[in-house]
Amino acid sequence: MNEADFNVEEMMVATMDAVKDTDPEIYELIKQEERRQRDKIRLIASENYVSAAVLQATGSVLTNKYSEGYPGRRYYEGQQVIDQVEALAVERAMELFGAEHVNVQPYSGSPANLAVYLAFLSPGDVILGMALPHGGHLTHGAPVSISGKYFRAQSYTLNRETGLIDYQQILEKARQYRPKIIIAGHSAYPRIIDFEQFRRIADEVGALFMVDMAHFAGLVAGGAHPSPLPWADVVTTTTHKSLRGPRGAIIMCRREYAAAIDKAVFPGLQGGPHNNTTAAMAVAFKEAATPEFADYARQIVNNSRALAEVLAKRDFQLITGGSDNHLLLIDLTNKEITGKTAAKALDRAGIVVNYNAVPFDTRKPGNPSGIRVGTAALTSRGFKEREMFQVGEWINAVVAEPENERLIEEIAADVASFCRDFPPPGIDC
C-alpha cells in the first residue's frame, strides 16, 4: 500500500461525508438527531452540548488504539502518544478539582461507582445512600441495581415536610447499620449538600465517605457549588452533564486510596480505556478551567432559579421550593396530570424533560407524579433569565392543556423559531 492509497492526513480530517457515503441510513439518523438537538429546548438535567473541540477529540483516531494498564505501565506497545494524552487528562483534572489522585479510565458513572465498591467492599457489606425514589441513583443501592443485589444496601430518605436531606436520620441509620461506605450525591435533588455533616457522620461510625457529584461537577469546577473534595475520601463524577465533556467518568480520591482505586478500575472491572474519550476529557477540563466556564456555571444556577420563579408563580409545586443547582424537581399532583403525560406533551411541543418520581410518590415509577428539568444545556446555548421566563410560560401552557394539539403545534413552531437565535455549540446550523 503506497502513499496514494492511504493518506493519513485525509483520514484525520474525515468528515460526516464518509458516513453518508458508507451508510446513508445511519447518516440520516444522525442528521435527524442533530436537527432535534438544534430545534428543541432540551431540559434533561443529565444532558448538555459539548464544544466542537470535545466532539472532534471524541471522534479522533485515538479510538484506534488499545491501552490496557496505566501510563508507563502498559501491556501493549506503541503508547508513546497515549501515555501523554492520559497523563495530561489526569493532570488537568487534579488541578481543576484540587484532587490528590485521579483515575480517568472509567467508561461511565455507573462503572466508576462500582469500581469504588470493588476497591473497598466485599459482597454483603453494608452501604448507605440516598433512596432512588428520593433522588438517589441506581448505583447508590437501589434493589434493582447490582449495588443493591451484591451489598446490603440501606437508604436514607428526605424530610417529608421540606423535601430536604434529613441529616439526623442519616446519623441514626449510620449508627444502626454501621455501613462500610456512606454515599452523598443524587440525580434529582435541587439543593446543595452539606458535605461537612456527612464527613462527621462517616467519622463517627468509621465509614468511608464517598460523593457522587456526576450532576453538579461542572458547578463545582466553575465555583458555583461547594466542592466535596476537602471532605470526601472518594469522589466520582461523569464528565458530561454540567461539566460539558464526553460520555465518560473519573474517580478522585485521597492519595492513600490511589492504589486500591486504580486496581479496581483495571484489571478489576474493565480492560483498555477509551483513549478518544480520555482526550476529549482533557479538552473539557481545559475548557472548564477558564473564566468563561466560571461565568457559565453561575449562569446555570441563575437560570435554574429564574425558571423556578416563573413556575412557582404559576402554582407548580417545586420540591424544596426551588433550586441551588442546575435542576428542578416538580410535583404535578395539583395540576391533575401525571409526570409521563406531561413529559410526552412537552416533547411534542419541543420541550424535552423526563418524568420522575418525587419524594414519597404514591404513583409507580413508570408513570410517576413529577418531572425533572435542568438548565445546563440551555445555558450552553446562551439562554439567560429572560429566556427562562419564556420557557416557563410554555411549560405552564402545555401542562394546562396537554391534549390541545393545536396549541402544542403552535408552541413547537415558536420553540423552533426561538431556538434559531441560540445556536448550540458543536452543531453546524
The catalytic residue positions are: 66, 68, 212, 238, 241, 247
Burial of 303 (0-12, 13-18, 19+ CB in 10 A): buried
Q: 151 is written with which cell numbers?
A: 451489598
HEC sequence for 154-195: EEECECCCCCCECHHHHHHHHHHHCCCEEEEECCCCCCCCCH
Residue type (1 letter), 42: R
Burial of 68 (0-12, 13-18, 19+ CB in 10 A): middle
d(CA 162, CA 150): 32
Percent helix, strand and coil across the chain, each to the nearest 5: 50, 15, 35
Closest C-alpha among 192, 185, 171 to residue 130: 185
CB 104 within 8 A of CB 93: yes
Q: Would you say 136 is a known binding-site residue?
A: yes
d(CA 28, CA 290): 36
Q: Would you say 101 is a known binding-site residue?
A: no
**How many CB atoms neighbour CB 119 within 10 A?**
22
Q: Would you say 326 is a known binding-site residue?
A: no
Q: Would you say 248 is a known binding-site residue?
A: no
Burial of 10 (0-12, 13-18, 19+ CB in 10 A): exposed
Q: 21 is written with which cell numbers?
A: 457515503
Binding residues for (6S)-5,6,7,8-tetrahydrofolate: 132, 136-138
Binding residues: 132, 136-138
